[in-house]
A = this chain, B = another copy of it.
């Protein structure tokens, strides 16, 4: 059975990417990064996703990106409720995907996997440089040059199956694959009662996605 490392944040995208890897008959190795994010709820959702898909192993790696700072997702900077598409948003975490993919790559080498799944997509790009196809291609090239697996074994592939899909298409695909989206989390700015804010970029993308897909979002929002 082929093995896949799946980067799992507990959100809609990574959980759908995991469902796709499972549907493609990979044995799943789920990887979550605990990087000092303000929205810790997502780590709980990643655990639920690991259970839901009966992964072979789920690793949660702690890395203190809070010490590095520079993002509204780790620092005490207000998370914006409107999105300015003309520039990189303050929720951008410096070099996050590069750090996450490199740790996934390390684990892939150790378990003998040539396949890494990431839920990156153009919609969530919204100004994030490290969600672009050209970036993911460059990482794949790097992965094959910089590892024992890449130079001795088969080719390492970065799978981003959601890259060209809208949020609505992702949700439709996930429902077709029987995902229970109530286990997922998206909000950047949850209320103290554990409900999603419904106003941050991430909630807006999610709510629009469910609306366009003609499904009801099963999670609770603060109203």
> Which of the candidate stretches A37-45, A62-70, A169-177 sits at the interface with the other chain?
A62-70
Query: Which chain A residues (76-131) contact chain B, with CB distance < 8 Å?
Result: 87-88, 92-99, 102-103, 105-107, 109-110, 129-130
Residue pair A129, B146 in contact (C-beta under 8 Å): yes
Residue pair A129, B151 in contact (C-beta under 8 Å): yes
Query: Which chain A residues (36-77) contact chain B, with CB distance < 8 Å?
Result: 59, 61-65, 67-70
Q: How many residues of A contact B (CB 8 A)?
A: 45
A 138-157 binary contact with B (CB < 8 Å = 1; else 0)? 11011101111111100000
Q: Is A23 located at the chain interface by the 8 A CB criterion?
A: no
Residue pair A62, B64 in contact (C-beta under 8 Å): yes
Interface SS, A side: helix
Residue pair B148, A94 in contact (C-beta under 8 Å): yes
Q: Is A132 located at the chain interface by the 8 A CB criterion?
A: yes
Give the nearest-CB partner of A139 in chain B.
B142
Give the nearest-CB partner of A100 in chain B.
B102
Residue pair B110, A102 in contact (C-beta under 8 Å): no
Q: Is A135 located at the chain interface by the 8 A CB criterion?
A: yes
Q: A63-B62, A88-B148 are in contact. Are A94 and B106 (CB under 8 A)?
A: yes
Other-chain contact of A62, B62, B70, B103, B105 (Cβ < 8 Å): B62
Give the nearest-CB partner of A89 in chain B.
B148
Residue pair B95, A147 in contact (C-beta under 8 Å): yes
Q: A110-B69, A130-B147 are in contact. Are A94 and B98 (CB under 8 A)?
A: no
A179 → B minimal CB distance (Å) = 27
14 example contacts (A-B, Cβ-Cβ < 8 A) are as follows A59-B67, A62-B63, A70-B109, A88-B151, A94-B110, A95-B103, A95-B109, A95-B143, A98-B142, A99-B102, A132-B145, A135-B146, A138-B138, A138-B145
